[in-house]
């Protein structure tokens, strides 16, 4: 079970599940079981990836005693239910973004995870791409000065269909939970502290979900974030992190493996690379299994720290740095780092800190929707 030989089950059979099945197969060589709302789609994915067992229902999957970890790739509106079911059954969970619909749901899952002593993480590529580890180390070194402003866009063009997951209120549709979670996670990665002020405006679809919005965030350290999201206009997936001595420009940021640094003093441009975008989901799997190995050993990433409130930069970094390279997450090693970076913000070198960052992002998304007055059934 340890040392990377964790027994995975997949809940879902859509595009996200297909991508993760390929990543799990590349890292582990096999996937133990799968289930979906429609058994026939699970059968198709199982045949394609040589998955051992197909359960007739998701309930049967999460209660399977021969599984250690459940990857959840069902629609947004069902994440809370299936995470709670999996955790109640003693399973570790890697759940697709957005991890829940709101902060209350995530707090419930975290509390249950502490009680059951299991790990829960969000399948957020930005948390695991080596490039972001490398850029965080650069900013932590002070070479670029403090981060002052983050600008980030994400826009897709979708044909309006009230039954699709993008626009259906019943399926928790809208741009915010589908693509805005990436933009908010990108911004949070580079900030010194969680945003405390939120200003926003949105255009709603006929179904009542957000189809386009502008969001401004500010924290108590004077750092600003400006985000633009749309499901009705294509935009580049582009993020810019403006610092005192230069700025970082990142294209295709959800799975980025390169960035341009523009230095203010001499006008030079530098390209920074780390990792490979084609292996984005493999980094998620490797990091998750690294934390699980630490959990099993009672050390790094122990589940007792999951879901605790507080400043994440106060947790994780010191213990990892003291332990040395052997306990660094694989994504950090892939970035060429040999130790944690003192003073880097946020410190996301252990599972508790990563989940804390997901909680902070969800707090922003929850406040944004509160201001819009957008609620989903069951909330």
Active-site residue numbers?
97
CB 9 within 8 Å of CB 61: yes
CB 112 within 8 Å of CB 104: no
Would residue 218 be called left, alpha or beta, if left means φ above 0 and alpha means ψ between -120 and 50 degrees? beta
Give the residue among 245, 233, 329 at the shortest CA–CA distance from 290.
329
Q: At residue 179, what are phi and psi to the nearest 5 degrees?
A: -120, -25
CA separation (Å) from 258 to 112, 244, 335, 355?
A: 38, 21, 11, 25
| Tokens of residue 56, six digits | 């007739």
Q: How far apart are CA 147 and CA 164, in angstroms?
A: 38
Between helix 351-372 and helix 103-116 the angle, nearest 10°, is: 150
Q: At residue 41, what are phi and psi to the nearest 5 degrees?
A: -70, -35
| Tokens of residue 46, six digits | 């199982």
Q: How far apart are CA 211 and CA 298, in angstroms?
A: 45
Q: Residue 160: how many CB atoms within 10 A of its CB?
A: 13
Give the residue among 150, 68, 79, 136 at the shortest CA–CA distance from 109.
79
Q: Which residues contact 50 (CB under 8 A, 6 or more apart)?
A: 25, 30, 31
Bond prior to 216 in cis (omega within 30° of 0): no
In the three-class reduction of DSSP (H, G, I as helix; E, B as strand; rest coil), residue 101 is classed as: coil
Taken as a whole, the chain contains a residue count of: 379
Q: How far apart are CA 243 and CA 232, in angstroms?
A: 31
């Amino acid at each position: 079970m340890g040392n990377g030989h964790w027994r995975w089950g997949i809940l879902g059979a859509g595009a996200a599940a297909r991508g993760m099945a390929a990543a799990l197969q590349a890292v582990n060589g096999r996937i133990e079981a799968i289930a979906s709302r429609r058994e026939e789609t699970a059968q198709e994915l199982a045949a394609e990836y040589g998955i051992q067992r197909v359960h007739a229902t998701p309930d049967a999957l999460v209660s399977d005693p021969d599984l250690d970890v459940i990857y959840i790739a069902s629609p947004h509106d069902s994440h809370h239910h299936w995470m709670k079911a999996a955790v109640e059954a003693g399973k570790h969970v890697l759940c697709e973004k957005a991890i829940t619909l709101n902060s209350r749901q995530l707090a419930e899952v975290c509390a249950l995870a502490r009680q059951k002593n299991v790990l829960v993480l969000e399948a957020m590529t930005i948390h695991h791409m080596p490039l972001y580890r490398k850029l965080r180390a650069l900013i932590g070194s002070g070479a670029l000065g403090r981060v002052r402003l983050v600008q980030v866009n994400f826009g897709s063009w979708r044909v309006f269909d009230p039954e699709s997951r993008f626009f259906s209120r019943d399926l928790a549709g809208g741009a915010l939970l589908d693509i805005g979670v990436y933009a908010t996670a990108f911004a949070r990665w580079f900030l010194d502290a969680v945003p405390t002020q939120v200003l926003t405006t949105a255009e709603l679809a006929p179904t009542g979900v957000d189809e386009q919005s502008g969001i401004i965030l500010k924290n108590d350290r004077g750092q600003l974030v400006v985000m633009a999201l749309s499901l009705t206009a294509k935009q580049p997936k582009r993020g810019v992190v403006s610092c005192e001595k230069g700025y970082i420009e990142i294209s295709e940021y959800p799975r980025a493996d390169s960035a341009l640094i523009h230095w203010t003093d001499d006008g030079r441009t530098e390209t920074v690379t780390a990792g490979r975008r084609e292996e984005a989901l493999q980094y998620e799997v490797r990091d998750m299994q690294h934390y699980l190995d630490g959990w099993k050993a009672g050390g790094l990433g122990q589940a007792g720290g999951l879901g605790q409130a507080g400043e994440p930069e106060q947790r994780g970094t010191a213990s990892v740095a003291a332990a040395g390279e052997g306990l660094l997450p694989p994504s950090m090693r892939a970035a060429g780092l040999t130790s944690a970076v003192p003073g880097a913000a946020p410190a996301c070198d252990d599972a508790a800190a990563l989940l804390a960052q997901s909680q902070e992002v969800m707090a922003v998304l929850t406040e944004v929707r509160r201001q819009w007055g957008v609620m989903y059934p069951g909330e």
